[in-house]
């Protein structure tokens, strides 16, 4: 580990210890080492697929187009993807009282699988689906996707995964609980996010503005946060850096 990075990790661990209310804010990058591609960048999903497939109105009008891609890019890894050392590291920091809550943009449930308890899914989840006709809710089961577009077992209406599509509102509960966490936080550990998508990407700025929160960022390259609000930039893979931070606890 380069000397400078080592010193920065030491500084980050010290800031985490000193913080009264540290929370984590995570994006797709934390799950890349679990085999789940990010959205942007050279290997990103948006370099292969058009984001239109995740637009709510397009989904409603052309479900036969959207559903096969949704199954391929999200549900096909759902059973196999496992948490990586970054997810486990955050769960351990929560257990020892360092990280109080996680706000995630991810829908892969890997924080929960790693043992994190207080997770706010700002962009919803793959775990459940809702019928767009009768609004009945279903826990994900591969049988629901046997025939696409997925249809409601009760009324045969169009089933929609409960993650946030483009042009769709953030789930009320996740929004409220995330903002409640942000206004309490005096440290945000920002992991694996480009900081491109509103309103999620405004959350670390809100913490900086409200409490002058310390922003520690883990990313393999600079993001939209780095030169604006990041205080400690730990350049590297989340699955490698988090275990290094844990050495200090």
Q: Which residues are annotated as a binding site?
A: 131, 134, 152, 155
The one-character DSSP state at 49 is: S
Q: How far is CA 56 from CA 9, 37, 69, 75, 199, in A?
A: 41, 22, 14, 18, 17
Q: Which residue is listed with tokens 């496992």? A: 82
User: x/- binding map, residues 197-216, to ligand APR, per CB under 6 A?
Assistant: x-------------------
DSSP reduced 3-state for 157: coil
H runs (alpha helix) in 96-201: 110-113, 172-184
Using the rule CB under 6 A, give the single segment among 22-30, 64-72, 137-145, 151-159 that binds ligand APR: 22-30
User: x/- binding map, residues 51-90, to ligand APR, per CB under 6 A?
Assistant: ----------------------------------------
User: x/- binding map, residues 84-113, to ligand APR, per CB under 6 A?
Assistant: ---------------------x--------
Query: What is the C-alpha R_g of the chain?
Result: 18
Using the rule CB under 6 A, give the single segment among 34-42, 58-66, 75-83, 136-144 that binds ligand APR: 34-42
Confirm if 31 and 239 have CB atoms less than 8 A apart.
Answer: no
Using CA atoms, how far apart are residues 86 and 83, in angstroms rounded to an integer? 8
- Cβ contacts of 42 within 8 Å, gap of 6 or more: none
Residue 112 or 152: the one with the smaller Cβ distance to ligand APR is: 112
Q: Is 168 in the site for ligand APR (CB under 6 A)?
A: no
Using CA atoms, how far apart are residues 42 and 28, in angstroms rounded to an integer? 14
What tokens appear for 58 in the block?
A: 């397009």
Residue 192 or 204: the one with the smaller Cβ distance to ligand APR is: 192
Q: Is 192 in the site for ligand APR (CB under 6 A)?
A: yes
Using CA atoms, how far apart are residues 95 and 249, in angstroms rounded to an integer? 11
Q: Which residues are catalytic?
A: 123
Using the rule CB under 6 A, give the single segment among 15-23, 131-139, 188-196, 203-211 that binds ligand APR: 188-196
Residues in binding contact with ligand APR, number by CB under 6 A: 24
Confirm if 89 and 242 have CB atoms less than 8 A apart.
Answer: yes
Q: Which residues are annotated as a binding site for Zn(2+)?
A: 131, 134, 152, 155
Burial class (CB in 10 A: 0-12, 13-18, 19+), 132: middle
Q: Is 237 in the site for ligand APR (CB under 6 A)?
A: yes
- Among 38, 89, 161, 171, which residue sits at the site for ligand APR (rule: CB under 6 A)? 38
Using the rule CB under 6 A, give the single segment among 2-10, 142-150, 173-181, 218-226 that binds ligand APR: 218-226
Instruction: List residues binding ligand APR (CB under 6 A).
Output: 27-29, 32-33, 38-41, 44, 105, 123, 192-194, 196-197, 218-221, 223, 237-238
């Amino acid at each position: 580990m380069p000397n400078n990075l080592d010193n920065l990790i030491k500084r980050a661990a010290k800031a985490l210890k000193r913080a009264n209310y540290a929370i984590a804010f995570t994006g797709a990058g934390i799950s890349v080492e679990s085999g789940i591609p990010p959205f942007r960048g050279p290997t990103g999903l948006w370099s292969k697929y058009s984001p239109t497939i995740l637009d709510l109105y397009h989904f409603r009008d052309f479900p036969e187009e959207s559903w096969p891609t949704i199954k391929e890019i999200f549900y096909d890894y759902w059973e196999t993807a496992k948490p990586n050392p970054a997810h486990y590291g955050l769960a351990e920091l929560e257990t020892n009282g360092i990280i109080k809550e996680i706000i995630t943009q991810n829908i892969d449930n890997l924080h929960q699988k790693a043992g994190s308890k207080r997770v706010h899914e700002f962009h919803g989840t793959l775990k459940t689906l809702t019928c767009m006709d009768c609004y009945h809710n279903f826990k994900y089961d591969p049988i629901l996707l046997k025939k696409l577009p997925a249809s409601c077992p009760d009324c045969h209406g169009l089933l929609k995964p409960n993650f946030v599509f483009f042009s769709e509102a953030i789930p009320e509960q996740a929004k409220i609980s995330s903002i409640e966490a942000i206004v309490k936080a005096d440290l945000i550990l920002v992991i694996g996010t480009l900081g491109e998508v509103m309103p999620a990407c405004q959350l670390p700025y809100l913490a900086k503005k409200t409490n002058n929160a310390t922003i520690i960022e883990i990313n393999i390259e600079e993001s939209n946060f780095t030169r604006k609000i990041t205080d400690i930039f730990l350049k590297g893979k989340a699955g490698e850096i988090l275990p290094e931070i844990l050495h200090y606890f």
